A and B are shown apart, each in its own frame.
Chain A
């Protein structure tokens, strides 16, 4: 440095700037390191990050309503919620429900809405069976007017506007898109049908209904559109279109295929269209305003509903409110889960500390033997261990028998120690104990015995030496064990399920119930997300109070 005044970049032996060649060398190293961890990285992404992301997404996702009854959602947007919706909404519901029923998706929507309002499921199921009949009236009426309306090819020609007519490609692709969202798949290929531009102007509802029918027939049923008679809903749509006075006038000037038959139909007397009455007739719940409110409340594609539900709240027309007393369960479950996890963690500290201490201070050979005893539970099935506690703790179980035999407890007043919180805490303490002992042990192992000796040589009694010198140094082990046990406990499922009864179950049991029994995955995901958030908050608080660098799993 002293013999040169050159301030330019330092060069490597081959003349490239040193910085660049260093970067190149480091990059190669980094890539190699990355390649080594790539399998793990991918595994973690696929098996850990992705499911959590999916869970977070599911807890707010609500696209099923918008995907299943899009037109109804559209119509309800301007509904003030004060009175039962008008005929327009019911008509939209009819067409939506008809397609959904054909695709057998309406029951899923019913189940979804049933989480918010019981009765919804049966409402959609029963009505879904009746939509065919609701349209049948119009089908019969048109057949009466002209037998041509009973002919598949006639309909196809009429709706496509004849050979060489200008087509309305947007309409058919809209309907394909809608069907894709409904069926949650993607379709590729050509339907073989494009609605005529002129006819779709004159008969917009009919064109839309026929396009939906065509897309469904081609993609889902895999039939040829021109060979299939259209649905009842298409006939109903035609009736709706013809009800409009302007339609007849427009038809008068139309000369595409089927124009005569349409003019004939426009002139004829058609059955009155009253979808509202038809729905209420199918299920009188359609006249209940709460049901419609639920549909409107849950129509956006994303909702806070699951989270509100998970904290015992609900959406009402007056906004967000607490559920009534008898419907609140999750707050209680969360509190209980926290409380019991803390109790378990505490019991594990109290029971595990001396064991870890002995392990760390015994000569290696004896320590290994004891370690095997500590690890033994790991080698036994969790189910077996939990069931063993059942045998131990039940009213006719070993402990009660011994107590009765000793005369400490009367035979008729045997202690209830299982299927409650006590049983859960006992069994889970036993099961999670190794997770407390191992980190404590590995930390204690690193505390040289010289510290205790030093303290004693300085005049401290055994207790003072332990409490002032040994214990503070073992705190990181307690911290690590506590975090481990607490986090494991908070999400534990099997043991509370078996020995928890009704008062000893955890939030995780409820999550499992929603995943496997009620199939309310959104709520399960919301509960899981809250649990995750609680753990993260506790972790953060722990870091603030104790300091995460005070946590050691060893060394």
Chain B
């Protein structure tokens, strides 16, 4: 599923494996290539190996097998300080005994850049993150958001072409996080830097990235732009991990004209788009987004398969309505409808029929 090596990629992982203890592989056969200027997010549950990948790229962990290339050159044996990669750590790692200006000046000093140059660059970097006044302060005197900006400025001040960020917004509150998400993407695009961003927050991944690589169990499950990831998940893990999702289990009856006829476990029949089922008789997990479910018979094609459903709960959420249904023996089938003037509000106990367009219903692997 992951894309294979590409010779003009800026960053490339080729068949990379990593094991810490010699017994289990934390990263299993990772292949990834990124063009210059791309904002790529590694998304996945905790422990899925995202940080490990980032650390291998930064040079703090060595790959057990495989090759990591930067601008076409293998960097497996280049020590971290010679890789010239900017990095933002989860807890910022701003040096507590230095002021913010000194923190920013540090990468320039070790590069033996002259004093006046250094000062100009530090000032510019601080202004870039709107922290022009804060240069004289210690990290402990800054708020979380300000520390975050300072860490970002420090990672960018020496003008690296590649910047790595490991859950940089994890410690911020929701509002600030959203603001920073915007600022980071904005900066990254403006400066044209290539960014690898790690998060376990799918909203963050979807809103910020050019492409998202979904990690699970040491493998990339799918790598795609956000819309594709959301709308066309390639397997049930991705479908369940990204966004809200209804799932129903069943068995494939037949596959014909690019449509799979699936018999649910309680007997009902539905149409679905076969994604990773191959032949009749395969077990499958059907995945439908809540907002793609239709209960208005007139809006469905006449020959569409429908399922009977009982309304269990109606939740008013302002802009949308969220309705919980019992469908095919499952009690947590959710549908979302827009709060439009002509929208019908379902009542608990009501018996309805639900259906969908076959291409919105994806027959995925049964895990």
Contacts and interface: CB of A to CB of B under 8 A. Distances in A.
A329 interface: no
B97 A457 contact: no
A468 B93 contact: no
Contacts of B110: 458-461, 464
Contact of B81 (A451, A460, A468, A469): A460
A456 B81 contact: yes
A458 B97 CA distance: 16
Interface in A290-319: none
Contacts of B58: 453, 457
Interface stretch (B82-90, B231-239, B307-315): B82-90
Contacts of B179: none
B85 A457 contact: yes
A454 B158 CA distance: 13
B299 interface: no
Contacts of A450: 89-91, 93
B95 interface: yes
A400 to B, nearest CB: 45
B106 interface: yes
A553 interface: no
Residue picked from B59, B80, B107, B111, most chain A C-beta under 10 Å: B80
Contacts of B84: 459
A451 B95 contact: yes
Contacts of B158: 458-459
B324 interface: no
A363 to B, nearest CB: 11
Contacts of A455: 95, 106
Interface in B65-82: 79-82
Interface string A427-461: 00000000000000000000010110111111111
A466 to B, nearest CB: 12
Given A458-B158, A459-B158, A460-B81, A451 B106 contact: no
B106 A460 contact: yes
B91 A448 contact: yes
Contact of B80 (A448, A451, A457, A464): A457
Interface in A199-244: none
B349 interface: no
A357 B155 CA distance: 27
Nearest to B96: A473
A509 to B, nearest CB: 41
B316 interface: no
Given A450-B89, A464-B110, A468-B106, A456 B80 contact: yes
Contacts of B50: none
Contact of A458 (B60, B79, B96, B106): B106
A450 B87 CA distance: 11
Contacts of A468: 106
B154 interface: yes
A451 B91 CA distance: 10
A458 B91 contact: no
Q: How large is the interface on A (under 10, 10 to 19, 20 to 34, 35 or more residues)?
A: 10 to 19
Residue picked from A451, A458, A459, A464, most chain B C-beta under 10 Å: A458
Contacts of B86: 457-458
A472 interface: yes
A453 B60 contact: yes
A457 B111 contact: no
Contacts of B60: 453, 456
Interface in B283-324: none
A459 B59 CA distance: 12
A310 B181 CA distance: 71
B112 to A, nearest CB: 10
B89 A458 contact: no
Interface string A453-491: 111111111101100110011000000000000000000
A80 to B, nearest CB: 68
B160 to A, nearest CB: 9
A472 B97 contact: yes
Contacts of B82: 459
A461 B80 CA distance: 9
A451 B87 CA distance: 12
A383 to B, nearest CB: 43
Residue picked from A454, A460, A462, A469, most chain B C-beta under 10 Å: A454
Contacts of A469: 95
Contacts of A462: 81
Contacts of A448: 91, 93
Contact of A451 (B90, B93, B154, B164): B93
B93 A473 contact: no
A459 B95 contact: no
A454 B93 contact: yes
Interface of A: 448, 450-451, 453-462, 464-465, 468-469, 472-473
Given A456-B59, A457-B87, A460-B107, 16 more contacts: A448-B91, A453-B93, A454-B93, A456-B60, A456-B79, A457-B81, A458-B81, A458-B110, A459-B81, A459-B107, A459-B110, A460-B106, A460-B110, A461-B110, A464-B110, A472-B97
19 contacts: A448-B93, A450-B90, A453-B60, A453-B80, A453-B93, A454-B87, A455-B106, A456-B60, A456-B80, A457-B86, A458-B106, A458-B110, A459-B82, A459-B110, A460-B107, A461-B110, A464-B110, A465-B81, A468-B106
